[in-house]
């Protein structure tokens, strides 16, 4: 047995986003692409679906991603003019991790420290938070190692944390659309007793996406 990692991307237009009565986000339509292999191939396929869905007519583009390796290479390769935004909840986890390194897991000072900085990060004061993180003094041992890792993380994503500006444009600040698609894929391919060879997983994923993205008829068309 071996682990199969499917990389996944979602494209949708802003006018396709709405909310339920309970305030949860929902999409009337979205294009979903997955790929087991190099991220740039995922980007090529996602770009193709986006072009079919009206990419050329877009007045502005948002590329929202987590911190996974290769994500921002896809953006540079296929969506170079798009605004970049780091998933807010990914950034939040790293901020909490930094707080735990500085204050300890069970410290009563941890929640106020993290929540205050998350509020600033979300509401247009990201430069203040980033400057504070960059200015933290070096420490020794495991704490120092973790501190350096998180400083490097936030420095690398400093230009991708303008959450208030994105929200004011009606853009999402979290990758809920991708998380939802991931759950759907897991439900399809990770059922009890299911086992896949590489070619079988790749082919079935392609068929599933053709059906979902409304070009299944093209796949089966014959002259």
Using one digit for the tens of pLDDT, what is the confidence trace for 149-189? 999 999 999 999 999 999 999 899 987 656 665 555 655 56
Give how far the C-alpha of residue 121 lies from the chain's centroid of Cα atoms, to the nearest Å: 17
Give residue 204's pLDDT.
65
Which of these, 49, 41, 37, lies nearest to 5 by C-alpha position? 37
pLDDT digits (tens, 9 = 90+) for 121-141: 999 999 999 999 999 999 999
DSSP 8-state secondary structure symbol assigned to residue 22 = T
List CB contacts of 43: < 8 A, sequence separation 6 or more: 9, 73, 74, 75, 77, 78, 79
Across the range 54-69, mean pLDDT stands at 88
Give residue 223's pLDDT.
46
**Cα–Cα distance measured from residue 1 to residue 160, given in angstroms and rounded to the nearest whole number:** 38
pLDDT bucket at 208, cuts 50 / 70 / 90:
low
Give the burial string for 133-161 (b: 16+ CB within 10 Å, else e): beeeeeeeeeeeebbeebbebbeebbebb
Give residue 221's pLDDT.
53
Q: What is the mean pLDDT of the chain?
A: 83
Across the range 181-206, mean pLDDT stands at 62
pLDDT digits (tens, 9 = 90+) for 34-47: 888 888 998 998 89
> How many residues belong to the chain?
223
pLDDT bucket at 64, cuts 50 / 70 / 90:
very high
Assess whether pLDDT exceeds 50 at residue 33. Answer: yes
């Amino acid at each position: 047995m071996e682990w199969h990692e499917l990389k996944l991307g979602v494209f949708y237009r802003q006018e396709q986003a709405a909310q339920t009565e309970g305030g949860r986000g929902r999409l009337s339509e979205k294009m979903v692409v997955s790929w087991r292999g190099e991220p740039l191939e995922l980007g090529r396929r996602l770009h193709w679906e986006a072009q079919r869905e009206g990419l050329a007519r877009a007045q502005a583009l948002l590329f929202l991603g987590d911190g996974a390796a290769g994500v921002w290479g896809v953006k540079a390769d296929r969506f170079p003019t798009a605004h970049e935004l780091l998933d807010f909840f990914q950034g939040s986890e790293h901020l909490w991790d930094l707080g735990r390194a500085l204050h300890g897991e069970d410290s009563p000072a941890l929640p106020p420290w993290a929540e205050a900085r998350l509020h600033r990060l979300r509401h247009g004061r990201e430069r203040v938070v980033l400057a504070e993180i960059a200015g933290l003094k070096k420490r020794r041992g495991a704490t120092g190692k973790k501190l350096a890792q998180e400083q490097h993380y936030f420095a690398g994503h400093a230009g991708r944390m303008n959450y208030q500006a994105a929200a004011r444009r009606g853009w999402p600040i979290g990758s809920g659309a991708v998380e939802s698609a991931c759950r759907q894929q897991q439900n399809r391919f990770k059922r009890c007793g299911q086992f896949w060879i590489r070619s079988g997983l790749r082919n079935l994923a392609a068929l599933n996406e053709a059906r979902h993205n409304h070009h299944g008829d093209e796949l089966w068309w014959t002259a």
